[in-house]
Amino acid sequence: MIQNPIIDAMMNRKSIRKYKKQMPSDEEIEAVVRAGQQAPFAYQLGSLLLSRGKRHPFSAPLLFTICVDAHRMETMMARRGWKMVTNDLSLLLFGIQDAAYMAENMVIAAESLGMGSCFLGATPYHAKQIIRQYKLPQRVFPLVQLVMGFPAENPPPRPRYPLNFFLFEDTYPEFDEETVQQAMQVMDEGYLAQDYYRRANYIIPLEDGRPETFTMENYSWTEHISRKAGQWLGDMNELIKPLEECGFHVKPEKHG
């Protein structure tokens, strides 16, 4: 595979959950943030909140909150004599794209400067707390948080699906049993070889009365992710409510 410093930074990226106390310099923070700004965008609907040196997850020195920000867009539009008519679902889809591109640029920029990071994916479900903490106006939605700093650990990059289960050229395939099994094996054996769940001492409990058949000897990624998607977040209102608290309304209006 072709290698260069940028590709190397991407291929070596991993989530860091232990950080040194060293605070990144203003120049390093600015470089990460500006790299985020230079990501592609549809409407420039991403914005950042930054907290330094407080009690952040994993004792990280920096905590970024990446937001979908329609408030800023609407403020600018008002100066031009326009009001937003784009529906909130479309606006959120474009805003999520903008914010995600920005966040990934920040991660790679941090890697290139010797820093590490970890995304906190449950952020939308803590919207009310984040609104209060940062005094967010309506129409700003906290999409994801990102801790960052200099690593105090050096875990290996985590496994990924093999390319034949990820890259589909010209048409989407019908998966045969062998292809699926091989992809699952790559993921599971990779995590088991790194002792990932044993080190974390964590197995998601079964909630539907199924008997537990896994131990730390064989519990790995495909069972872990299946238990998440097979047991959690079944009610869309758990996400619609935080969106509405931020001023985004995605339920169709009832007429008649």
pLDDT, tens digit, for every residue of 77-115? 999 999 999 999 999 999 999 999 999 999 999 999 999
Distance of CA 213 to the CA centre of its chain: 31
* Domain map (residue ranges) of the chain: 5-155, 163-231
CA separation for the pair 97, 250 (Å, rounded): 17
pLDDT, tens digit, for every residue of 119-174? 999 999 999 999 999 999 999 999 999 999 999 999 999 999 999 999 999 999 99
Helix (H) / strand (E) element for 62: namely strand 62-69
Confidence of residue 256 (pLDDT cuts 50, 70, 90): low
- Residue with the bigger pLDDT between 68 and 209: it is 68
Q: Mean per-residue pLDDT for 5-28?
A: 96
CATH topology for 5-155 is NADH Oxidase (3.40.109)
Name residues whose C-beta falls within 8 Å of residue 196's C-beta, 6 or more positions apart in sequence.
Answer: 158, 220, 221
CA separation for the pair 236, 250 (Å, rounded): 11
pLDDT at 254: 67
pLDDT, tens digit, for every residue of 28-59? 999 999 999 999 999 999 999 999 998 999 99
| DSSP, res 123 | G
Q: Which of 102, 114, 104 is nearest to 5 (CA)?
A: 114
Percent of the chain at pLDDT above 70?
98
Q: Mean per-residue pLDDT for 9-21?
A: 96
